[in-house]
Every structure is written in C-alpha cells, then in structure tokens.
Amino acid sequence: MRKLLVLLLALMIADDLNAQNTSKKPNVIVFMADDMGYADTGFTGAKDILTPNLDALAANGVIFKQGYVNHAFCGPSRAALMSGRYPYRFGFETNPAYDPANPHMGIDTNEKLFPERMQEVGYTTGAVGKWHLGAAQEFHPNNRGFDYFYGFLGGGHDYFKIDLTKKVWEAYLQGLVRNKKPASFDGYLTTALSKDAAKFVADNKDEPFFLYVAYNAPHQPLQAPKEDIERYSHIKDKKRRVYAAMVDVMDRGIGEVVQSLKDNGIYENTLIFFLSDNGGPQPSTQNPKGGNASSNKPFRGGKGNMYDGGVHVPFIACWPNKIKAGTVYDYPVNSLDISRTAVEVAGADAYKTTKMEGVNLIPFVTGENKEAPHDYMYWRGGSKWSVLASDGTKHVKETKNPEMYYLPDDVSEANNILNKKSELAKKMYSKWVEWNENNIPCVLLGYKDYHKKRDAFYEQAIPPKAKTYNNK
C-alpha cells in the first residue's frame, strides 16, 4: 500500500511539473548556419555528411520543403531575420563593412529588432556567434535587444586563432567579444560557440529565454580539426572533405545545446528553428575554383543569385509540446516567419514601432490554418529580382532577361515558361512592382567599395610633405 501511495505521489508530481512546463512561455532557439548548401544535411538527402542531430530535430518536428531566406547572401539575410521585415524597407541590401568607428555602417537603429520585442515581455535574450549587422557601438547586440552576446561583429572569423598583429580589414583575426568586453576562445571556434550556447541554456533554464546561435560554419576559410577531416577521408574532393568536417562539428555542437535543454528539463517546451543564411556558394565562370564545396542540389545556382540555389535553404522547426513529429510542410515560408513566430508565441507585440511582415507559422504547421501563409514572396538585389507565388510559380530576373518557372515540375529551373505564360508573368511582375514601392534604395556601400573609398580618404589626408618624405 505504501509503495502504491509513493507511486501515485510521484505521478502527481510529474503531472504537475509537466503542466507547469506546458503552461510556461516557451523558450525559443534559432540556429543559423553560414553558406550551407541545401543538400548537405541528412534530412535533405546528404549521403556523405553526417548530421544526426539536425536529422533528429527534423524527425521530431517539421521540415519546410519550401523554406526560403529573404536575401541571397549574409548581411541582408540576417537583417531580415532580426527585424522581421524585408531588409529593402530600410535599405540594407549589401554586406556592411567592418568598421567600429562608423555609426552608419549597420542596420538602421530605427528598426526594432525582434529580440527587443521579446525582452519587453520578460524574455532573457542571448546571441552567440556571427553578428554582421554593424560593428559600431550603435549596432552592438547588447544595444539591439540582446542581454548577452558572445561572438564576433564582422562577417567571418578564423576558426583556430586570433592575431592582433595582422591588418584588421574584415576582422577575421580580431578578438571576440563577450558582451562589451574583449574575449577569446580555445580550440576550434565552432565548438567554443556551441559550448557557450549550451551554458546559456543551463544558466537561464528557470525563466523563458530566446537564444540566437549564428555559426560561421561552414563559411570560408575552410578549416576544421584534423581528426574530423580524417573522418571524411572517403570523400575524394579534399575541399568537400574539410567542408563536411565543418558541418559535422556544427551538428555535434547543436546536439550539445539540445542535450543541455534535455538535461535541464526544458526540451519539450522549446521551439527550435534551424536554417542557413543563404545557399552554398558555387564555382562560376569568373571564379572556377570558387565556392566552398557545398551542394545545392537539385536547385540551380547558389549564394548571391535569385535562383533557388541562392535562397532555398534547409529549414526545420521542432517544438515537442506543439508540433507533431514527422510533419512535412509544403507551402513556401521564409525567415521573416521565424521572427514573427517567436514574437507571437512569446506574447510580444509584432506591430510596435515597426510592423513585422512574416506570419506565425504554428497554426499552419499544426493544421489549424489550411491556407498558404503567403500569396507571394519577394526578393531584390541591385538589378535582380524575384517573386514566388504560393503555387510554386516563380518569376525571376537573374540574367539580362526575365524568366519564369513552375517549381513543382521544375525544381532546377531549367524550363523557362515565360513565353507560354506571358499574362501570368505580367501579373506577377506587377505584384513585385507594387511590393517594391515600399522599399528604398540601398543605403550602404558594399564592403569592398567601402574599403577602397576609406583607403583613398586616408591617402588623401596625408599632408603633401609627409607624402614626399615617405616616397624618398
């Protein structure tokens, strides 16, 4: 009888704890890879790279078959995610140069980033890894909605070392930052970021939190621990061998963060997203040895262009308390939806200051809402543009002339149907024009042009006598 009472008491306590966990606001984690190819996870078909932790998250949640980012390369894609708005609304259309002294080279300070919205309803917010939204004080993550930051402010970093004796340029060898103080790392950077993210989970387990884990893997430089590269000796292409090792270490790090959730009893009530910031970069006619050995199959193109290879990315969500395991979602979604979903499940305001543009994905993936989340989705990049309809029809201008494809029958964008569907093309283009009326021109110089102008300025600033002296 006593054993039965003990068992009943244990079950009552477990039920009470489960009820508390279910009623508590969910934690939210966004994992973002950098320059990762669509086909380089197990859940998207990779056979030569191991991603068991990502595959487990996919199996336990939802795979978005048409998951897109809102720009074809790093900075603007991240600006879209963080603001929850198309980055063209505020002129963020290129990668900002690393310049801690420039108060204009970053994301518009009038834009309300979504972590700040979550702070307002009691969430503790943390960012670990790559920022790339401005290096000056005005743009620092601690000033843009994050209570905690550990990582680097530029667009990339060496994976093994810091060397302050080298030219700064884009800061790949500069020190890291922990909140507002200089920081370093031991060993391999990806592993260091993962350990820090896992610690953030453990340190904040008692109250709802939002955590943004922005890896620079597998962005170049292609570097990985020797033992991990050796694990992929079966891959003949040496470049892809290193790339595979980088993805593998990132996947293991994601597993470490998920394990921290489980160890602290909060996994079931944590909404986890994973995606890449854009498609994997590919070799080109101009740069035949370029790219990072990623694969975007079966899509056309890669990082930097409007074909699906540039913007269609591996995209999943897992939330055991809400999302049924094994869900596959077919309608197009995009990264604006991630930030909108996070804000709405947190009970925060998506309209305050600047209106967020995505949708809350939860009613769609649970089947409560049967409609398509978006009638159309849009992209812009200089003279290039694209518009995608909910049925999979895509009108794109990547080269000199516009093209149109029906993706459900032509995922590789090989059969241009524009001439056969000219009226539909006109309608879709008019939709794009209407959307574009609410955008502004790019307000940033690309980082290469910026460095040239800055170097020219300093050269011009040297007094004539000093120039003469230096030339002797």
How many CB atoms sit inside 10 A of residue 405's CB? 25
CA-nearest of 319, 350, 358 to 29 is: 319
Which amino acid does the sequence have at 172?
A: Y
Longest CA–CA separation in the chain, Å = 100
Which amino acid does the sequence have at 94?
A: T
Determine if the peptide bond prior to 96 is cis (ω within 30°). Answer: no
| Residue listed under structure tokens 């897992």 | 318
How far apart (Å, rounded) are the C-alpha atoms in residues 35 and 220? 9
Percentage helix, strand, coil for the chain under 3-state DSSP, each rounded to 5: 35, 15, 50
Q: What is the DSSP letter of 96?
A: P
Q: By the 8 A CB rule, do 159 and 189 touch?
A: yes
Which amino acid does the sequence have at 289?
A: K
| Residue listed under structure tokens 């200051």 | 353
Which amino acid does the sequence have at 66?
A: Q
Provide DSSP, 353-396. Answer: SS---S---HHHHTTS--S-S-SEEEEEETTEEEEEETTSEEEE
Active-site residue set: 74, 132
Q: H-type helices in 214-271, by residue range?
A: 226-230, 238-263
Give the per-residue SS3 of 402-462: CEEEECCCCCCCCCCCCCCCHHHHHHHHHHHHHHHCCCCCCCCCCHHHHHHHHHHHHHHHC
How far apart (Å, rounded) are the C-alpha atoms in residues 122 and 143? 17
How far apart (Å, rounded) are the C-alpha atoms in residues 228 and 233? 9
How far apart (Å, rounded) are the C-alpha atoms in residues 283 and 299? 14
Q: Tell me the two tokens of residue 381.
A: 């990049």
Which amino acid does the sequence have at 76?
A: P
Provide DSSP, 109-169. Answer: TTS--HHHHHHTTT-EEEEEEE--SB-SGGG-GGGTT-SEEEEESSS---SS---TTS--T
Q: By the 8 A CB rule, do 100 and 68 touch?
A: no
**Beta strands of 251-347 (E only): which ranges?**
270-276, 315-318, 327-329, 333-334
How far apart (Å, rounded) are the C-alpha atoms in residues 35 and 33? 7
